[in-house]
Amino acid sequence: MRKLDLHCYPGTPEWVRSQGPFAAALAEYWNKPWDGRPEQDVVDDIRAAGMQALLVAFDIESIHENSPAFQNQEVAAMRDRHPDVFVGAWGAVDPFKGEAALVEIERTAREDGVLGLHFHPIMGRYRVDSPELRPIFELMRDLGLVAMVDVGTTGMGAGLPGGLGSRIDNAHPIAIDHLAADLPELTIIASHPGWPWVEEMTAVALHKGNVFWELSGWAPKYFSPQLKVDIRSRLQDKIMFGTDHPSIPFDRLFREWDELGYSDDVMAKVFHGNAERVLGV
């Protein structure tokens, strides 16, 4: 069965540097080194796992010092160097760069061929339903780009005093609900299970036809009991697979998905069918 990872970070030392002060906290959160690995090692591991993936750029450099962005050109180039493994790329922009962010969205759509843009509201210190961000999402709608938006808490800043100023309610599902209602032509992928607001995210995914949901960055055995039921029933046409690489080992993810006991039909939708239908990958 094809396995399509919608949320795969490059995992290289350059990408780790883009996380600035949060890298050390992530190492402790995931209980493993967080230094980055050579690109070819990353590619070999994904290929050995029998996956294809969409790479994710990262940009919080206007908020956090010493956090050089992992640029859209970089994920596009990595995709193009390994086309059998990387079948697409998500760009990223720092919304606080103002007009420059809008210029970059047009450029990366035209020159890099990104599928859409990824947004990290907690680390970026914004909400996607903020009026200040509306021009970004209107432009994305007009260009046919998809918005992938993190929902729920994050390991970035976890355990640090004040979470280094990060507010987890910036990633509340209601912000996605508002954005989806205001821009119904914009396709939105919510990323991660959304804890502690899993039920709220379920409601948004069921209510908004333009909202879908990928469950990366969370061990499947820790999905809530109701979410485990909903994946095989009322959410089976909404759920997509992602790893949040390099967060959780691939073998553990596949083992725990298998242990949930879903039918082949449901797993085909989760692992590739829904993404193929919605995103055309």
CA gap 232, 265 in Å, rounded? 9
Instruction: Calculate what percentage of the chain has a pLDDT beyond 70.
Output: 100
CA gap 243, 21 in Å, rounded? 23
Residue 34 in this model has a pLDDT that exceeds 80: no
- Specify whether the CB–CB gap between 172 and 200 falls below 8 A: yes
pLDDT tens for 45-63 read: 999 999 999 999 999 888 8
| Domain 4-279 coded CATH 3.20.20.140 | yes
Termini Cα distance of the chain: 15
Residue 20 in this model has a pLDDT that exceeds 90: no
188-191 sheet: strands from edge to edge? 3-8, 51-56, 86-91, 116-119, 146-150, 188-191, 211-214, 239-240
Q: Where are the domains of the chain?
A: 4-279
pLDDT for position 62:
83
pLDDT tens for 238-252 read: 999 999 999 999 999
